A and B are shown apart, each in its own frame.
Chain A
Amino acid sequence: MTVLVLEGYHGGVLQKLRKSRAKIGSMIRLTLKSGEVFEGTLIPRSEYSDPTHIVLKMKNGYNVGISLDRTEKLEVIGEGEKPHFTKPSPPANHAGLPKVAIVSTGGTIASRVDYRTGAVQPALTAADLASVVPELSSIAEIDTHILFSEYSENIGPTHWKGMAEEVAKKIANGAEGVVISHGTDTLHYTAAALSFALANIPVPVLLVGAQRSSDRPSSDAASNLTGAVALAAHADMATVGVAMHRDLSDHIIVAHQGTRVRKCHTSRRDAFKSINSNPLASYDLKTGQIELSKGIAKRDKSRKLALKSRFDQHAYLIKFYPGMNPGIIDSAVSTGARGIVLEGTGLGHVSGHLFDSVKKALKREVPVFMTSQTIWGRVDMNVYNTGRDLLNLGVTPLEDMIAETAIVKLMWVAAQTKSAGKIREMMLQPIAGEITSRTLVEAS
């Protein structure tokens, strides 16, 4: 984000500032009708703020807003320095370190704040990153690339495709690991998508985000990035995963399997949890030690990556709730659904008043799958009558697959085959660790 000439000001205030030739960063003196005088640096306003106040940063560092209505005179008494960032010197190359590619998709994982105006400047080049997170240069040889810059809630199947293709390119160019920085809200959907799109992967691909933006001292951006790069460079694994804090302390960064992870908290650093599984690997920020779980896929650069990056968006995830209008299912079917994932209650139930709509969907060759909104656990539709009724209708239970992974998988599967029967078959087939027949107690 660059500082525009009079960012955030509009209406009367904007005109007044223009007339006085004031710029963001100018030293301004406001004389009020009451005789009070304010001096300070002109500060940008947020885009939704009203058009009647001027914001000044006073000498002691505080910002205050002064109403134009009370202002008698506005003078520019000095030109402030433009916010500038001295480019850090390029990182020293440590010979022999593994190459790690960092692909940025949005969310400023690293940034600098201009303390005078509060403007945030993203740090995304290798040199910037190295100066903000100097630890990186001693862990890996970093190559950075800005693929796009999107809030994670705006990321979808086209972005997944772009990311998968970019990762393939980086691996082809010799990266020993790829790190993708990504906003956290939909990080786990992207992780699932890449898990399916990147088959037979030879090296680790880790998505990383920050629960607290990097303009806060409590930010987890640098530590998550450090952990992700370290695991991508050195962990003997070859899976798509999500690297984030294990708990509240800046101590351990864990890599969760991409198809098994979910954001489970709005703001905590340890928001990401492995569901029905254990993390794949951990990195100790203090000692640099890496620990791997048993039985995970190992690196093998001779493995040939198979890219299957198409997704069909005619897939629906419908969460059941008491009193739900069955028309939701009907309307999904009528818009050309290739499949529907239900997020049912408990062991995998929906109310009897939805049965007709479910029946209609199945009759029109739209497979209906069942997951559970309890998040943890496995669906079992043989326990209660409702479950047995749904099974009898032809609903397919998805075992211990989490709903978010199920919908991403359905989009991916629907792009691989035309046949409803094949879709049903592939949904139950383990492709990237998303579904297992056995869940360990310690993983739930």
Chain B
Amino acid sequence: MNPEALDVALTMSMLLHAKPMDEVHVMRKVVIDGSNTTGFQRTAVIALNGSITVEGVEVPIEQVTVEEDSGRKTGDTKTSVIFRIDRLGVPLIEVSTGPVIHDPEQAGKVAFAIGRILRATKKVKRGLGSIRQDLNVSIKNGALIEVKGVQELELVSKAVGYEVQRQLALLEIKDELRQRNVKASDIKEEFVDITDILSDSESKIVQSALNQGGVALALELPSFKGLLKRELTPNVRLGTEMAKRAVFWGRVGGIFHSDELPAYGIDSNHVEEVAKKLGCGDLDGFVIVADSLENSKDGLRAVVGRAREAVERVPEETRAANPDGTTVYLRPRPGAARMYPETDVPPVQISQDRLERLWENLPRMPEELAKELGTKHSLSPKLATQLVDSDYLPLFEEIVAQARGVAPSFVATILTESLRSLQREQVPVENVQEDQLKQAFELVSKGATAKESVLDVLKWLAFHPDGVAEEAVDMLNLRMLTESDLQNIISKVVESNQALVQENGVKALGRMMNLVMGEVRGRADPRQVTELLRTRLEQVKA
């Protein structure tokens, strides 16, 4: 096991007041979606039973584990999934809180607090996805749902909120089905071949399935009419949930349900005929799948399972977060049974010496760090805190050490407030690499460009991720002017404003200054311009 990863995890554990294990045992957690080439993810408990206080409330930290990160899914086709494996095997620290967070807003705050402590170790990688939140959400009478892959902190409370809403809606549907006297056993695994009926439909999905020798099958869902289109969260309906199950288990592209038909090339005649063939009554719904016989059957079987659950309970699931905070079915929730010992990695004993060494080198907590930064670099408390909470603290320290003569408060402002406002203007600042940021400040330090130009340079780099800061300065015409360049420009401005100069002499300095700066802004130091201009005006007078 990578000793540095273990040290960071132990350090984290100490900051979270969790108790390190005496001996760390690595386990294999079976993951067969392809994201781990071995088919398992290696994971080990480092510490247990910690706690942090968030706004006066104590939140238990149940467990801190070190895991290896999985490959990142970058795309899929009907029969394959594509992963990038540059992230695979990178050590990852998982912090699990106890089930004591009671509202979505609190969830967001706890995640933020843990993130701050993680950053205090200065070992956290910058960028989207380097800190991810998995949320376990359960409500009364509902189920424990694990939401994976919440990448942005702002999304935590939203995702929790949506999940609560989804479970409440599912409970409502359950009650309604009960009122309609539906039992799980009423939903029969009887699939009716409706290939004949749909053979003339204009649905591309149906036609492509039939052309490849597939079938169209239908399943009756007794008393489900109107419920399939019931919205659980924005754009997620009960029908969507069924579809995702069918896709997962049946490898089908999707399903058609009666609440959304006629549509997609299936017209009202088709709908009527299918309903008739299934023997549907007024309150009954149905689902159609078109694919190979095997896939169609597997898909509909999954729909039957989901429909039966709709009658009985909210099913336990692992779900994936969408960018808007809503979630979709990812896979069933695995149990402890998928864990077995990793025999290739011997257990690691955590020695007292190691713990003492780490204890003596514990990083300062965010508040302390902010205070120290404020004093050392004359930053306002607000700016210092923002810096500590950003991903840029290590970079800030590097830049300040390297870029002599650039005010630390200026660097801090750019790295926090300015970058964020660029982001708000839809500038893709995430494209700007640390090296490029360093280059930009370096140019100011060398006097090659004015500090007022830094933001423009970064903006240019955001749109030209392969570029370097020097290039940006040239492309944007932001290179500092030499004294003789400046003299020339001043001469030109003085010449074209002869009357003003002749009349007012040095008194025209203010107005002349505006005119010259209009030409050279960002490329000259205003103090230097003032001086050169004053000398020139005095000469004119003489």
Give chain A's interface residues, CB within 8 Å of chain B. Answer: 34, 36, 43, 46, 49-50, 53, 55, 58-67, 70, 113, 115, 118, 215-218
Q: Complex Cα distance A261/B39, Å?
A: 29
Q: Which one of B29, B30, B336, B338 has the greatest number of beta carbons of chain A within 10 Å?
A: B336
List 6 additional contacts besides A55-B347, A59-B336, A64-B24; criterion CB under 8 Å: A46-B347, A55-B23, A64-B25, A65-B23, A65-B347, A118-B343
The 7 closest A-B pairs by CB, nearest first: A217-B39, A65-B23, A61-B336, A61-B339, A118-B341, A67-B22, A63-B25
Interface of B is mostly: strand
Q: Complex Cα distance A350/B360, Å?
A: 58
Q: Can you report 5 residue pairs joining A to B where beta carbons are below 8 Å apart?
A: A46-B346, A49-B346, A62-B45, A216-B28, A218-B38
A53/B338 contact (C-beta < 8 A), A64-B23, A66-B23, A218-B39 known = no
Q: Complex Cα distance A171/B290, Å?
A: 51
Interface assignment of B162: CB less than 8 Å from any CB of chain A? no
A67/B23 contact (C-beta < 8 A), A36-B49, A217-B32 known = yes
Q: Complex Cα distance A50/B23, Å?
A: 11
Contacts of B63 in A (CB 8 A): 60, 62
Q: Complex Cα distance A55/B346, Å?
A: 13
Contacts of B37 in A (CB 8 A): 218
Q: Is the CB of B22 within 8 A of A66?
A: yes
Q: Complex Cα distance A131/B24, Å?
A: 35
Contacts of B30 in A (CB 8 A): 217
Q: Complex Cα distance A50/B346, Å?
A: 11
Contacts of B21 in A (CB 8 A): 64-66
Contacts of A46 in B (CB 8 A): 343, 346-347
Q: Is the CB of B38 within 8 A of A62?
A: no
**What's the minimum C-beta distance from A66 to chain B, rounded to whole angstroms?**
5
Per-residue 0/1 for B1-38: is the Cβ within 8 Å of any A Cβ (1 yes, 0 no)?
A: 00000000000000000010111110111101000011
Q: Complex Cα distance A66/B25, Å?
A: 10
Contacts of B392 in A (CB 8 A): none
Q: Complex Cα distance A55/B65, Å?
A: 17
Q: Complex Cα distance A115/B337, Å?
A: 6
Q: Complex Cα distance A53/B350, Å?
A: 11
A65/B346 contact (C-beta < 8 A), A36-B49, A217-B32 known = no
Q: What total of chain B residues lie within 8 Å of the partner, measured CB to CB?
A: 33
Q: Is the CB of B336 within 8 A of A60?
A: yes
Q: Complex Cα distance A49/B349, Å?
A: 10
Q: Is the CB of A62 within 8 A of B340?
A: no
Residue in A36, A62, A218 whose CB lies within 8 Å of B25: A62
**What's the minimum C-beta distance from A52 to chain B, rounded to whole angstroms?**
9
**What's the minimum C-beta distance from B452 to chain A, rounded to whole angstroms?**
55
Q: Is the CB of A115 within 8 A of B25?
A: no
Contacts of A70 in B (CB 8 A): 22
**What's the minimum C-beta distance from B49 to chain A, rounded to whole angstroms?**
7
Q: Complex Cα distance A194/B129, Å?
A: 55
Q: Complex Cα distance A52/B38, Å?
A: 32
Q: Which residue of A lies closest to B26 (CB)?
A: A63
Q: Is the CB of B340 within 8 A of A55?
A: no
Residue in B27, B32, B48 whose CB lies within 8 Å of A63: B27
**What's the minimum C-beta distance from B382 to chain A, rounded to whole angstroms?**
41
A217/B38 contact (C-beta < 8 A), A64-B45, A115-B339 known = yes
**Which residues in window 366-418 of B have CB below 8 A to A?**
none
Contacts of B22 in A (CB 8 A): 53, 65-67, 70
Q: Which residue of A lies closest to B65 (CB)?
A: A62
Q: Complex Cα distance A58/B38, Å?
A: 24
Contacts of B23 in A (CB 8 A): 53, 55, 64-67
Q: Is the CB of B27 within 8 A of A61?
A: yes
Q: Which residue of A lies closest to B46 (CB)?
A: A64
Q: Is the CB of B32 within 8 A of A53?
A: no
A55/B25 contact (C-beta < 8 A), A64-B45, A217-B40, A218-B39 known = yes
